[in-house]
Chains A and B, each alone.
Chain A
Amino acid sequence: MPVAQVGFSKELIDFISEWKQKPGSLIMMLHRIQEEFGYIPREAAERLALETGMPLAKIYGVITFYHFFKTSKPGKNRIAICLGTACYLRGAQDLVDESRAILNLKGEEPTDDGLFSIDEVRCLGCCGLAPVLMVGNEVYGKVTKDQLPEIIAKYRQQ
């Protein structure tokens, strides 16, 4: 039973105690948690519920509403494929489908070895390079389907 058995950094604890009484700060606290863990573990959500007195259901309502918040641990290399208008029109959906096929993934869950996960995201801010994807902090522009194996292989070797 996952009840508050997760460790929070001192900064995170301070942040939560500073903001928990103020209305409308749930999203901000969730941001901090995701910053610390890379996603929002169930245990962390439970601990937040306990510390804020907020029902867990309310927290999950928010987590699952916003695409930004993740409930499962992302892969070591997070592939973010832009599905904004420009990228979509230039075939980004094919990139999603193809990279999922290569990595044998269905949704946002990471690969079994934990190396990769794929996220569909909205505009990455470089529409001129559409279609765009990012691996970690590296941006790849004007990507075509046949470039994907090479890009993925590069990170697999790292």
Chain B
Amino acid sequence: MINAKINGMPVQVAEGTTILEAARKVEVKIPALCYNDDLEPWAACGICVVKLEGSPKLVRACTTPIAEGMSVITNDPDLVQTRKTVIELILSTHPDDCLACPRNQECELQRLAAEFGVREQPFPKMLRGLPVDSSSVSLILNPDKCVRCGRCVKVCQDMQNVWAIEFLGRGANTRIAPAADVQLNDGPCIRCGQCSAHCPVGAIYENDQTREVWDQLMQSGPEAKTCVVQIAPAVRVALGEAFGLKPGANVTKKIYTALRRLGFDVIFDTNFAADLTIMEEGTEFVKRFTNMATGKEGPLPLITSCCPAWVDYLEKYYGDMIPNFSTAKSPQQMMGAMIKTYYAQKAGLDPAKVFSVSIMPCTAKKYENGRDKTMWSSGQKDVDVTLTTRELARMIKQAGIDLVNLPESEPDSPMGPNTGAGVIFGATGGVMEAALRTAYTLITGQELKDVNFTGVRGLSGIKEASVHIGGTEVRVAVAHQMGNIAQVLEMVKKAKAEGKETPWHFIEVMACRGGCIGGGGQPYGCTDEVRTARIRGIYDADEGSTYRCSHQNPYIQQVYKEFLGEPCGHKSHELLHTHYESKPLYLK
């Protein structure tokens, strides 16, 4: 342990702790812009400078490890002035259009400028006038607002291993862009949106589609449609943060009420579609697993396909593994297809007169809803518009709805009621756990006594577990945060090349750290602490559910009886399954 002083206060920390981290132990906040809890610090912005007693030099608190006997001064008038100057210099290359910026009031630069009392701009403005890249349906890149902190590049390269963006050029001409200055949509971007969730300013942000939804909600006369909405599992434990609630606070039933007040006619829950996904994917797994010897139902491991950013990654980087991919659509797309077929029939509606909106924690879902022609399986676009959690928060605020104090209400039948297995889709390991709960019953014909598979929960990047089902061992792996996936897939490929048995039978992959609760469309400020709280909220909801296995959901049983027939049957294949194709990294 190291003993040092921060502003005269003794602090004891482990070796290797940076000054910035040590300061937190004694409730001292050192301001920073490029620093982010998810990323290795790299000292780009220069706002976190501090003084060491007896030295005239300023050092960066984010990268300097605290040393024995060190006495750090984090705050004096001189440091405040230095930091303020750094902020003013950053502002000299940043547009002043805060009022019209997507990050207004949620911008870290704006907050710093306010905290440091910036009242004038002493340096001449040097805006670069670079064009906005709006090629992607998920994300908008506005390089003029970029403060070159580098978080997005670090996230995209180090956390996600996608390499869609890089620093191009140097010095004052440095810009964040895809290789060869192609547009975002033409490069390797998988649209996970982690860049947008980590950007401190409004340089990369979700493609806001709230206008389209408002327009339809306010439509009357012949253009009016029945507006049906679904909300994803992970939204319910994060939306509250935008209204001052703690991370993990479950506001599901308040969201249902809020959506009704926004003008939606029918409120469904993506959890229901997650139950449906489990029926399809679980059946697909059981078929492949019980026919392992012949392989006639497809190869193992089966790999989950609920995450559209992961689907995109696989198509671009691992085209050779497509046969291992589950053909089951994601819950969003299953729900979309069911809304415009099953529900429309049941309610006597023309599917062309149904407007289907999904609320997702995810920017890639905006791309998924038009990914290929199987997303029009009802004959219409199954999901018309996807909004992120952040966009929904904006709509609720615009409508003057006091979310925190709203009365609770229930979703609509038949595609509202859901199980604990559906809700845990929102957390890493959840799809696997939900699938195992149902696979157990499908294989053995019995119900589980203990439905908790805790080995697949938690934030470690790669989790492995082995489960005995009906006397056979099922080996599973769960990976989240895109950069962790290659290791798992390389092991699968290696075993195959060497003619060995596959290391796992079933693999769950989620592109974002923590799974969907840490999605790129969730409220800002996500750290592991926040992720843990959101995950807690998810498993609490699971534990509080009447049914905890998808196949127990009476409405799921009803849907198969009335409409779909059997899981992985003919109708399911038409509506609930898709296919994949190998794609180049660069389109241009």
A interface with B by C-beta (< 8 Å): 1-3, 42, 45-46, 55-61, 64-65, 71
Which of the residues B166, B187, B584, B585 comes within 8 Å of A58, measured between beta carbons?
B166
Q: List 8 A-B contacts (CB under 8 A).
A: A3-B584, A45-B180, A57-B164, A57-B179, A57-B188, A58-B166, A61-B166, A64-B169
B483 at the interface (CB under 8 A from A): no
Taken together as a complex, chains A and B put the C-alpha atoms of A2 and B179 apart, in Å, by 13
A56 touching B169 by the CB < 8 A rule?
A: no
A-side contacts of B188, CB under 8 Å: 55, 57
B586 touching A60 by the CB < 8 A rule?
A: no
B178 at the interface (CB under 8 A from A): yes
- Sample of 13 more A-B contacts, CB < 8 Å, known A56-B585, A57-B163, A58-B166: A1-B584, A1-B586, A2-B586, A45-B179, A55-B179, A56-B180, A57-B157, A57-B164, A57-B165, A60-B166, A61-B166, A64-B168, A64-B170
B163 touching A56 by the CB < 8 A rule?
A: yes
Nearest neighbor of A56 in chain B, beta-carbon distance? B179
Nearest neighbor of B156 in chain A, beta-carbon distance? A57
B588 at the interface (CB under 8 A from A): yes
Rank and list the top 6 A-B pairs by shortest CB-CB distance, nearest first: A55-B163, A57-B166, A60-B179, A56-B179, A61-B166, A57-B163
Interface residues of B in 560-588 (CB under 8 A from A): 584-588
Interface of B is mostly: loop
Taken together as a complex, chains A and B put the C-alpha atoms of A64 and B188 apart, in Å, by 19
Taken together as a complex, chains A and B put the C-alpha atoms of A65 and B584 apart, in Å, by 26
A58 touching B586 by the CB < 8 A rule?
A: no
A-side contacts of B157, CB under 8 Å: 55, 57-58
B588 touching A1 by the CB < 8 A rule?
A: yes
B167 at the interface (CB under 8 A from A): yes
A-side contacts of B179, CB under 8 Å: 45, 55-57, 59-60
Nearest neighbor of B168 in chain A, beta-carbon distance? A64
B586 touching A65 by the CB < 8 A rule?
A: no
Nearest neighbor of A67 in chain B, beta-carbon distance? B170
When each residue 170-210 of chain B gets 1 if its CB lies under 8 Å from chain A and 0 otherwise, what string results?
10000000111000000110000000000000000000000
Taken together as a complex, chains A and B put the C-alpha atoms of A65 and B169 apart, in Å, by 5
Closest Cβ of chain A: how far from B312's Cβ, in Å?
16
Taken together as a complex, chains A and B put the C-alpha atoms of A1 and B170 apart, in Å, by 27
A-side contacts of B164, CB under 8 Å: 57
Closest Cβ of chain B: how far from A45's Cβ, in Å?
7
Q: Which of A1, A42, A56 has the most CB of B within 10 A?
A: A56
| A56-B167 CB under 8 A given contacts A42-B180, A45-B180, A71-B180 | no
Closest Cβ of chain B: how far from A121's Cβ, in Å?
15
B166 touching A46 by the CB < 8 A rule?
A: no
B-side contacts of A45, CB under 8 Å: 179-180
Closest Cβ of chain A: how far from B493's Cβ, in Å?
15
Interface residues of B in 285-311 (CB under 8 A from A): none
B-side contacts of A59, CB under 8 Å: 179
Q: Which of A55, A57, A61 has the most CB of B within 10 A?
A: A57
A56 touching B165 by the CB < 8 A rule?
A: no
Taken together as a complex, chains A and B put the C-alpha atoms of A55 and B317 apart, in Å, by 12
A46 touching B169 by the CB < 8 A rule?
A: no
A-side contacts of B180, CB under 8 Å: 42, 45, 56, 60, 71
Closest Cβ of chain B: how far from A116's Cβ, in Å?
24
Nearest neighbor of A62 in chain B, beta-carbon distance? B166
Q: Which of A42, A45, A55 has the most CB of B within 10 A?
A: A55
B585 touching A60 by the CB < 8 A rule?
A: no
Taken together as a complex, chains A and B put the C-alpha atoms of A42 and B585 apart, in Å, by 14
B-side contacts of A57, CB under 8 Å: 157, 163-166, 178-179, 187-188
Taken together as a complex, chains A and B put the C-alpha atoms of A60 and B168 apart, in Å, by 7
B-side contacts of A3, CB under 8 Å: 584, 586
Closest Cβ of chain B: how far from A42's Cβ, in Å?
5
Interface residues of B in 337-381 (CB under 8 A from A): none
A-side contacts of B170, CB under 8 Å: 64-65
A61 touching B167 by the CB < 8 A rule?
A: yes
Taken together as a complex, chains A and B put the C-alpha atoms of A145 and B585 apart, in Å, by 48
When each residue 137-169 of chain B gets 1 if its CB lies under 8 Å from chain A and 0 otherwise, what string results?
000000000000000000001000001111111
Closest Cβ of chain A: how far from B146's Cβ, in Å?
15
Closest Cβ of chain B: how far from A46's Cβ, in Å?
7
Taken together as a complex, chains A and B put the C-alpha atoms of A71 and B584 apart, in Å, by 22
Taken together as a complex, chains A and B put the C-alpha atoms of A141 and B180 apart, in Å, by 36
A1 touching B169 by the CB < 8 A rule?
A: no
Taken together as a complex, chains A and B put the C-alpha atoms of A57 and B152 apart, in Å, by 13
Q: Which of B165, B168, B179 has the most CB of A within 10 A?
A: B179
Taken together as a complex, chains A and B put the C-alpha atoms of A57 and B175 apart, in Å, by 13
B168 touching A56 by the CB < 8 A rule?
A: no
Taken together as a complex, chains A and B put the C-alpha atoms of A149 and B168 apart, in Å, by 35
B-side contacts of A42, CB under 8 Å: 180
B-side contacts of A71, CB under 8 Å: 180
Taken together as a complex, chains A and B put the C-alpha atoms of A58 and B163 apart, in Å, by 8
